[in-house]
Each structure stands twice: as C-alpha cells, then as structure tokens.
Structure 1
Amino acid sequence: MSELNSAILKNLFGKLGVYLIQLLSLIILARMFEPKVFGILASISVFLVFFQLIAEVGIGPALINDGKISKSEQNGIFTLTLLSGVMIGCVFYFFVRYLSLFYNDDIYLDLAWLFSLIVPISCLSIVPTTNLIKDYRFAGLAIIDGVSLLISIACTMILSTKLEPIYALALKSPIYFLAKLILAYIASYSTTSGMPNIGFDFGAIKRIKSFVKYQLAFSFINYFSRNSDDIVVGKALGSTSLGIYSQAYNIMKYPLQLITFGMGTAIQAVLTNNRDNVSYLIYEHNKLAKKLMFVSLPISLYFIFNSHLIVEVLLGGEWIEVAPILTILAVTIPIQIVTSTTGAFFQVLNRADLLFKGGLIGATIFVTLIIFSAYFGSLKATAICVALAFFINSFCTYYILFNRGFKISVLVFGKIVLNCFTIMVPYVIFYTFVNEYVVSLISVSNSVFYQVMLSLVTLILSSLPYVIIIRMKYLVKTDKGYHNG
C-alpha cells in the first residue's frame, strides 16, 4: 500500500467516528429545534466562514507546504493568528449587527458577540492543528473533532432546558471550537514541531507570502461560489426556506465529509516531496480519482432513490420538504467527491495561482447560476442551478489541472472517465430496476426499520456485480504509462 493510500485510509477510518457523531447530532437537534432557528443560525454562519478565511489568511496550507519553519518562526505565526483573530472578530461583531438590518430581524443583535468569539478561537487552533497534520496524526485529529462535537452536543442539550432555543443552539459552535482548540493545543505537545507559544519572529511571513496570497484569494473566491446559494435563499425565500435548504445540503455533504474531509491535507502532506515527479503525481491522481468515482456512485444512487426515507429517519416527518431538494443535490455527489482532491494537487505542484484562477472561474459559474435561480423563487430551482454549476465547474477545474498544472492534455483523464462510465452506466440501470421492485415491497409495510433494511439490502445486492467487475477489471489497473515517467 502506498504512503498516500495509507494516510488517506487512516484519515477515513478516523473520520468515520466523527461522521457517526455528526449524524447523531443531526438526528437529535433536528427534533429539538424548528427550521427557522436553523435558518437564522445558517444565515450568520455563512458570513462567519468568510471572516474566518480573512483571519486565517491561508496560513494552514502554507505551513504544510513550507518544510523549513523553525520553532521561533512557528511561535511568530502563532502570535500573528491571535492578533488577526482578535481584530477580525471585532469587525465581525459589528457586521453581525448590520445583518439585523439586512434580514430585518433584531435577533442578530443578541447573537453578534457570541459568534464573534469563534473567529479568534478558530484562528488560534491553526498552528497546533497544522503540526498534527504534518506528523500524519489524522486519527488524533479525528478524535479531537469527535470529542469536541460530543461536548458541544451535550452542552446544547443541557442549555436547551435553561435558555431559549435560538441561544441554546447558537452556543453549540463556540463550545465546539473552544473544545477543539484546547484539545489540539494539548495534543501538539508531542508533535515534531512542538506546542506553539507567543513569539515575535515573523521571518517566515516573507517566505510563504506568495503562496498565502494565492491561497487566500482562492479561499475568498471559493467562499462566494459555495455560499452564495445560502445568501440568496435566506434573503429571497426567508429563514424557514434557508433552514430546509441548509439541512438538505448538510445531509448531502455527510458522505463527502466522510470520504474527502482531510483527504486534501493528506495528499498535500504526503506528495509535496514528490512535486518534481509530475508523472508520479499524475499516476497517483488518476488512481485515486478512479477509486473515488467507483465508491461515490452507489452512495449517490442510494441518496437519490431514498431521499424521503433518509429525511424521515434523520430529521423526522416535519422536515419532509427537505427530500426533493436532497434528491437533486445528491446527483452531484460523485463529481464533488472526485473534484475535491484537485485543490491538493494544485498545492502539491506549488501552483496556488492556478488554484486561484480555477476558483475564479468556478465562482463566476456558481454566482451566475444561483442569481439566475432567484428569478424562479423556489428551492428546487436553486438546487438544480447549484447541481448544474458543480458539473460545469468540475470540467473547467480539470482542464486547468491537466493542461496548465500537469502540462498534458485533459483528454488523458477524459479517457479514464469514459472507461469508468462503461461500468457505471450499466450499474445505474441495474440499480434502478432492482429498486423499482423493492419499492413495491416497501409499500406493504409502514415500519421505518423495515424500509431502511430493505433499502440497504437493495444497495448491497445491486452493487455486488458492480464491485466484482471493478475488482477484476478496473480497480487494479491505472494508466501505468505515467507511473515512472
């Protein structure tokens, strides 16, 4: 097993526990709080991410990319993250107060101070978290995430008996980030780089500023492209509609998070030392992309055909309006999972400039289609436009990665995709027929447990021929012409 595969698998198994805790959180909290509460907090969170990006200035990936950071330089960067977090946190405090005018709701005035605390807390966790990543401590990071989530969920449930629902749920994020900071800081003590402290050696800033500049620019562009839908839905359709859309998007993201969250950092950490061997990078990319395509398709089909059942199990019957939106968004799961790795390969190639250009094109596509969807005034229209944007953006991203990054024709990767489709398309047809038969069996029982088990049996039985053929014909074969150059 290659070092990259090993790192990714360690990260995947570590994230499985976090994934299950997130599902538990969703099941519990969706039954405790109304869609409007989720919608209000989502409308703040979408801007919180933007201010976090400003405060963090792309330092995390830059530290991974630069292997020459000394202890004193690390302390200087740690101090910089503290100062940046405090300043941007203060700005965010006044910005959230402005949101009360934008959304015409005074509740934002009461939540401003609470969410502004998140910015400096999350910034302080950058350096200790990066130290763990550089040592391939993905299992440790997963444990930190999981424990932090459990603490925040428990506190939210306790606070819900003492406070109004909006404040109890709002406290979940600050508690999570604080717990994560404390645990990551303690864990960093045993890393190669050690526990960061306050220092004033800012010499590394000059060395990483070029990378940081493009990384930050890409983060800004990527933010607007991936969050413009929440902004448009919240403003045009209201908090309740945003709560419904947000839950559909979050459910769709769970398999993405399980498979891809942290994969980018693993790719960057492992392959950075091989950045001059482009043929090897192409080999690793294509092998990984094929595996991701094959793994993601059954997940996508299950979500498409069982969206109502998934929503009923996870959120409850009162959230059933989430189901049709989830069905549309689930179509994009394979393309999102595969494309999610491209950013890491741009970083490995030290071409953050290309990452930025791809992000700029993607942002233009996403924002244009999402604004266009607002004219229809429906969540379905927004979901369709978002799905279309994902497909168009993936094509543009791969064109830039191969033609400008790897400096070979994107048709090389196109041939691999077409070869995968020769198995994937028949599988889709076979799954559809099997599922239609199972639907008739499901209708004879109202038991949710019976329906869930039958849907899973359908997935497994229909996937067996698919898995066997992949093992025999595709999974072990990669474009070997690019392995050794």
Structure 2
Amino acid sequence: MNANPPPQFGRVALRGGLVTAGSQGFKMVIQFISVIILARLLVPEDFGLVASVGPIVAFVGLLQNLGLQQALVQRKDISDRQLNQVFWVSALVGLGSSVVVAALAPAIAAFYGDQRMLGITLASALPLLLGSIAAVPLALMNRHLQFGQLALNDVVTAAAGLLAAAIAAWAGMGYWSLVLGPAVAAVVALAAAWLVVRWTPSRPDLKVDGDILSFGANLTGFNLVNFFSRNLDNILIGKYSGAIELGYYDRAYKLLLFPLQNITQPLTRVMVPLLSRIHDDKARFRDLYVRTNWMLAAVTMPGIAALTLTSDQVVALLFGPRWTAVAPIFAWLGIASLTQSVSSTTGWIFICQGKTKTMFQWGIYSSLTTVAAFIVGLHWGAVGVAAAYAISGYVLRVPVLAVLVHRVGPVTAGDFLIMQGLFIVSSLLAWLAYLGLPASLAGQSDLLAVALALCLNYGFALVLMLIFPQSRRMLSATLPNIARNIR
C-alpha cells in the first residue's frame, strides 16, 4: 500500500482539520457533560478510587501495540504481510497486558490498603485487549485519510461511554459506573472500526520487520516514560494525601487538560499521515506545521488563560459549592497547560521524520524533571503538586524542547517560542485589564465574569496577531481557505 501525497494536499489537510475540529467540539461537549453529571451523581471518593487505579492500568496499556499502529501510518509503503504481522503482535501484546493488569490487582489493592481496588483493577483489564484488536483497522483508516469516519467513530464512542456511566451512576452503582463507561466505549470503538475497514487478517505471523519494530519500540519508550511522569501525580496524591484530595485533583485535571487533549490527539491523527507524506520537502513541512500550530494556539491558549483567570467562578458554575477546593488546583494546571497545546505537537516533528529515538531521549529528560517537581510539590498537597508542575515546565522543559526542535528541524526554535510567547503576552495583558474592571461589573455573576475574561483574552490575542507580521501573514493565508471550505 502506497501513501503518496493526495491531490490538492492543502485542501485535504484543511478539510481533515475542520472535520476533526467539528467532531472534537461535539466530543468536548460530551466530556464536559460527563464531568458535570458524574460530579453531581457521585462523591469525590468515587473518583479518587478509580483515579488511583487508572494510571497503573493505562501505563500497562501503553504496550497494547508497541507503537506499531503509528508505524503503519508513518511508513510510505506497507504490505499485507506487514499488516498481518502487526495485527497478531498487537493482539498478543494486548492479551498479555490484560493478563498483567489482572495479576497486579491484589498488589494494587494491598498498596492502597483498600480491597475495592481489586475489583476495579480486574474490570479495567478488558478494554486493553479490545484496544489492541482495533489497532490495525484504526491505523488503516488514518493512513487512508478517512478523517470523517474516524471523527464519527470518536463521537459515537464517547457518547456511548457517557450514557453507560451516567445510567450506572443514576442507578446507584457508585464508582463502578466510572469503570463501566470506558468498557462500553472500548466495545463500541472496536465494533465501529472493524465495520468500516474491509481488511481481514490471515494466519498468525509474529515476525515484524526490524525497522518497523525499532520505530515502534522508541515511540513506546517515549510513551512509557512520558505517561509514567504525567500520572505519578495521581499515585503520589492518592497514597500520601488520600482519595478525597485526589478526587479534587482528578476533577481539576479532567476539566482542563482532558478537553485540551481532545483537541491535540485527534489533530495528531490528521497531521501525522499528512506530514509523513511530505517530510522530504522541508520547506513545505515547516510551513504546514507552523500554520497549523498558529491556529491551534490562537484557538486554545486565550481560552485556557480566561478559564485560569476565573478558576473560582468556573468551578462554582460547573461543580457547585462542595467542590471549591478544586479552584486553586485548576488555576495552577491552567498555567501549566498554556503552552501544552503547542508543545505537545512537537511529537509530529519527530514521528513524521522517523526521529523516534530522539523523541524517546527527550521523553526521559522531560519525565525526570516532571517527577522531581511532583516530589518537591507533594509537601503542600495537591495544590503544591500542580504548582510545582507548572513552574518546572516553564523553567526546565520548554526551553530545552525549543533547542531540541531546532536541532531536528526544519521547524526552528524561533517558530516554536514566538507563537507561544505572543499568546502568553496577550494573556498577561488580559489579566491586567480584568483586574482593572470595576468590582460591580465583574462581581455581578460568575457567568459574566467568565464571559468578560474570555472576551478580554481573545480580544488582546487578536490585536497582537494583527500587529505581529508572522501571525498576520498566517491569518491572511489561512482564514480565506477556511471560509471557502466551510462554504
């Protein structure tokens, strides 16, 4: 199977991005509804119990396909034999991952000193196997640029998971509803993928080509160290601060960072196959990457800044008065996530150019600095962990990542830092303007306060984009194309 750039490549990229953005809009609405409904039907301890097990299960789950799914998308040519090899290896690894999680259940329950963890862990093992079996059909849909079908599958899967969890919570199943939702979503995702793709595996073959295996192994290594560092906060808070405080932290994290991931992860699905097809054309590669990230930053960073600025009001509106302890955690995570919409896309540069070894090395450094920050901040509880994570990101990780991106190319450190710096400056200006508002205006209602913060942040961001030449050129080139494709 050959993967040459399609005709009208730019239009394919733009339409793929618009379709993905639309579907993710629906998915984010579903996610927010899920967070709000379940917060009102369940208690903080329910979320804390499942959140304590979740990182361990998901960490093992990173071995589901050994990075081979992304290798299928990135390669220029792929044969039926190679597809069959990847399918059977992924299925075997998925089965092994499920067995490992089930075997760890007693140890996890003993670690937390709570036998409820035993059943939660056992029930969480099944989606790992189902995800592995779906790996190849999902990769083929991505490789063939079936962005519309992928987007539809995502929305249906998210809705099914929410419906199952909400019904279970309403029926009084407590923390079990948070386990049932992902299980139902995994079943729906598997069925939808295989219904769309016509490919079927042949007899088992476990001999994967060396270059595919090397690509996947380095990518898996990055995912493992990165995920470990990103989720160690849950383990540490759950162990040393308790399930209730972890429940507060979990709600803040999901409210802010999960919607952000729901933008960048599906966008990765669009950009990786497209950038992989033009990675030899460095000028074209850089142009597409930079333009995409300017738009991504323009959409996400002012919104995150506004929600961070009004964290007390946002938490009160969405969760109610019993969740006020979430607000300071939410604010620090908001500061941390300001740059993450752009920083997280640097993986496209490494993956699409086959530089997964460099990506793995960066992951080791990033994970070590993140873990150190968590340990330092743990003394002050969940708020301290969030604050240490935010501060260490700006001081230790963003500058190093900029240098590494510049060395790999063709995107420069200037490209990477300028687009983030502009919106950080606009956020600071909006913050100063918000503080200058009369108390009688901003204090009228929580909803009005959030609306004012949003208007100020997006307003200052637009003004700076029009002033700065690089962002102004990007707007003049991109907005007309978006308008034509919407029509």
Equivalent residue for 1:58?
Answer: 67
| 2:133 is the alignment partner of 1:124 | yes
Give runs of aligned pairs for residues 137-176 of structure 1, distance below 5 A: 137-160=146-169, 162=171, 164-176=173-185
Is the 1:94–1:112 contact (alpha carbons within 8 Å) kept by the matching residues of 2? no
Instruction: Write the distance in 2 (CA, Å) between the matches of 1:437 and 1:36.
Output: 38
Query: Counterpart of 2:177 in structure 1: which amino acid?
Result: A
Is the 1:435–1:458 contact (alpha carbons within 8 Å) kept by the matching residues of 2? no
Equivalent residue for 1:216?
Answer: 220
Query: 1:32 Cα deviation (Å)?
Result: 0.7
Instruction: Write the distance in 1 (CA, Å) between the matches of 2:392 and 2:349.
Output: 22
Partner of residue 290 from structure 1, selected from 289, 294, 302 = 294
Instruction: Write the distance in 1 (CA, Å) between the matches of 2:112 and 2:404.
Output: 38
| 2:388 is the alignment partner of 1:385 | yes
Is the 2:84–2:201 contact (alpha carbons within 8 Å) kept by the matching residues of 1? yes
Query: Counterpart of 1:379 in structure 2: which amino acid?
Result: A
Change (3 A) 1:110 1:296: closer
Give runs of aligned pairs for residues 49-448 of structure 1, distance below 5 A: 49-160=58-169, 162=171, 164-188=173-197, 194-202=198-206, 204-374=208-378, 376-391=379-394, 392-403=396-407, 405-406=408-409, 410=413, 412-413=414-415, 416-417=418-419, 421=422, 425=425, 428-434=428-434, 436-437=436-437, 439-445=439-445
Query: Counterpart of 2:384 in structure 1: which amino acid?
Result: A
Equivalent residue for 1:448?
Answer: none
Deviation string for 1:320-344 (max 9, x for gaps)? 1111110111112231001011011
Query: 1:283 Cα deviation (Å)?
Result: 2.8
Partner of residue 467 from structure 1, selected from 462, 469, 472 = 462
| SS of match in other structure, 1:21 | helix
Query: 1:396 Cα deviation (Å)?
Result: 1.6
Is the 1:115–1:174 contact (alpha carbons within 8 Å) kept by the matching residues of 2? yes
| SS of match in other structure, 1:177 | helix
Change (3 A) 1:334 1:169: closer
| SS of match in other structure, 1:160 | helix
| SS of match in other structure, 1:303 | helix
Query: 1:161 Cα deviation (Å)?
Result: 5.1
| SS of match in other structure, 2:437 | helix
Is the 2:307–2:453 contact (alpha carbons within 8 Å) kept by the matching residues of 1? no
Instruction: Write the distance in 1 (CA, Å) between the matches of 2:110 and 2:218.
Output: 33
Please identify, of 467-476 and 262-271, the stretch whose mean Cα deviation from structure 2 is larger. Answer: 467-476
Is the 2:48–2:238 contact (alpha carbons within 8 Å) kept by the matching residues of 1? yes
Change (3 A) 1:444 1:335: closer
Change (3 A) 1:91 1:466: closer
Instruction: Write the distance in 1 (CA, Å) between the matches of 2:281 and 2:370.
Output: 34
Instruction: Write the distance in 1 (CA, Å) between the matches of 2:68 and 2:350.
Output: 16
Deviation string for 1:252-307 (max 9, x for gaps)? 11441343122223221001122122233233333333333333331122112221
Instruction: Write the distance in 2 (CA, Å) between the matches of 1:459 and 1:81.
Output: 44
Change (3 A) 1:429 1:99: same
Is the 1:438–1:454 contact (alpha carbons within 8 Å) kept by the matching residues of 2? no
| SS of match in other structure, 1:262 | helix
Query: 1:78 Cα deviation (Å)?
Result: 1.8
Query: 1:468 Cα deviation (Å)?
Result: 4.6
Query: 1:183 Cα deviation (Å)?
Result: 1.2
Query: 1:435 Cα deviation (Å)?
Result: 5.4
Change (3 A) 1:452 1:349: same
Deviation string for 1:347-373 (max 9, x for gaps)? 111110110011011011101111122
Equivalent residue for 2:34?
Answer: 25
Instruction: Write the distance in 1 (CA, Å) between the matches of 2:81 and 2:105.
Output: 36
Query: 1:24 Cα deviation (Å)?
Result: 1.0
How many corresponding residue pairs?
Answer: 463
Query: 1:69 Cα deviation (Å)?
Result: 2.3
| SS of match in other structure, 2:48 | helix
Q: Root-mean-square deviation (CA), in Å?
A: 2.4
Gaps in structure 1 of 5+ consecutive residues: 189-193, 446-450, 479-485
